[in-house]
Amino acid sequence: MTLSPQPPDGQADTEAVRICQDLLRIDTTNPGDGTGPGERPAAEYVAAQLAEAGIEPLVVEAAPRRTSVLARVAGTDPVRAPLLVHGHLDTVPFDAADWSRHPLSGDLYDGCLWGRGAVDMKGAVATTLALVRSWARTGRRPRRDIVLAFLADEESTGEFGARFVASRHREHFADCREAIGESGGFSVPARPGAGADGDGARVYPVAVGERGTAWMNLTTTGTAGHGSRSGTDNAVSTLVHALSALAAHSWPTRLTPPVEALIAELERILGTVIDRDRLEAEAVRLGRVGELFATTVRNSATPTVLQAGRKVNVVPCSAHAQVDGRFLPGTREEYLTTVERLLGPGVVREFINLEEAPSGDHSGPAFEAMTAALRAEDPAGHPVPYLMSGGTDAKTFARLGIACYGFAPLLLDPGLHYQRMFHGVDERVPVAGLGFGVRVLDRFLGTY
């Protein structure tokens, strides 16, 4: 038995909204330094939603309050390999003073649920929970087993979430060959001014890979002394010069297979030619869809934190910085060698997080099933492959030999800019978009 092409019952959309709203009201901010409230209350809520539907949850903790939930929904075809559906419960911090509505309010306003994590990614967690609860109510089952993982600590290194469960609970994922998670399946207007009901110009990027991660701590040392005395052995000067060289470096353009496939599809959809020799300018010309490849045609190294000294007339003996490094699939060693050369001999580099850049298949049956599910719900939509500029828990699961895709379907009003809401102010998700996500997931899991 396979699933019908429509939502399993009338409650699924409503439940997605209720669950999302409840999750948004639970503070799971993760500063990355161990000072956050932890994910336990959200994990307990998720476990209760699963248990109420007769799905047995396994609640695990890597450290006090750093809690994840694992579960499994049996399918009808035991021959098919299980599919992993993973999402994270933590969010990045916020400054409530900057928001129009409080980030923990879960307010329903102007057709949207507002709050930190609405798109990243409590909305997707809610659609998944609403769908599996609906299956349980109606007695319906997916085609293959669905392995569920609702995880802690994705917004940091994953040490207390994906890495923990992949190591300590490896058996939960032993027979999984493919996975879906954030971030993909969201709608992007292909042309400026495209309406929500459309002129046939909505693009749905489905992530088939990610850039690698190289988060770095940099340290320089020198001779402490009085600020009025000049000297060449100045830790701050050494670090600033190194950061300047890193920030000014022009990384070469590289077209990986997913990015080349994306650009070719955009040319077909838009009826235009995209100049491969001027990709950054072309990204600007194309607007929102250009952003899908603007940051994934080259490596990057962005200084983000700088710490040195405590008093204006005192030369400190050390200076520190952090750099967010990202590299394209297949370029890791070249990237690290270049960074080392640019920093020079006076800088000590330590990795906060170093993870490979996974790259998947945009021509196989899994990708085709995802695109078919999107087209069935939005015949005017154009699913396309793309490479994520950032990173997700997919990096951890890829190390287990699981092919990972970014697929958390969401229909957005063109006035809502998905990429800018990630970690941004006034993050919100349309109520109608959550219902769309439930239906697309239902179609995908029912046919694949």
Task: Please give the pLDDT value at position 193.
Answer: 54
Task: Please give the pLDDT value at position 371.
Answer: 96
Q: CB-based contacts of 207: which residues, under 8 Å, 6+ apart? A: 183, 184, 385, 386, 387, 388, 394, 405, 406, 407
Q: CB-based contacts of 397: which residues, under 8 Å, 6+ apart? A: 84, 86, 162, 166, 173, 176, 179, 404
pLDDT tens for each residue of 19-72:
999 999 999 999 999 999 999 999 999 999 999 999 999 999 999 999 999 999
Task: Please give the pLDDT value at position 360.
Answer: 79
Decide if 149 contacts 86 (C-beta within 8 A).
yes
- For residue 417, count other CB atoms closer than 10 A to its CB: 14
Give the fold, CATH level 3, of 212-249+300-355: Alpha-Beta Plaits (3.30.70)
* Residues of the chain with confidence (pLDDT) below 50: 1-5, 194-198
Decide if 104 contacts 24 (C-beta within 8 A).
yes
Task: Please give the pLDDT value at position 313.
Answer: 95
Burial, 96: exposed, middle or buried (Cβ in 10 Å; 0-12, 13-18, 19+)? Answer: exposed
pLDDT tens for each residue of 321-341:
999 999 999 999 999 999 999
Per this entry, what is the length of the chain?
448
User: Right CATH number for 12-183+392-447 from 3.90.1300.10, 3.40.630.10, 3.40.50.300, 2.30.40.10?
Assistant: 3.40.630.10
Exposed e or buried b per residue across 422-444, where buried means at least 16 C-beta atoms within 10 angstroms of its C-beta: ebbebbbbbbbbbbbbbbbbbbb
Task: Please give the pLDDT value at position 7.
Answer: 52
Task: Please give the pLDDT value at position 417.
Answer: 85
Task: Please give the pLDDT value at position 232.
Answer: 78
| Cis, bond preceding 389 (omega within 30 deg of 0) | no
Reference 67, options 149, 134, 152, 4; nearest CA is: 152
Cα–Cα distance for residue pair 264/317, rounded to 1 Å: 53
Decide if 409 contacts 191 (C-beta within 8 A).
no
Report percent pLDDT > 70 for the chain: 96
Parse the chain into domains and list their residue ranges: 12-183+392-447, 212-249+300-355
Task: Please give the pLDDT value at position 361.
Answer: 84
Q: CB-based contacts of 170: which residues, under 8 Å, 6+ apart? A: 400
3-state class (DSSP) for residue 154: coil
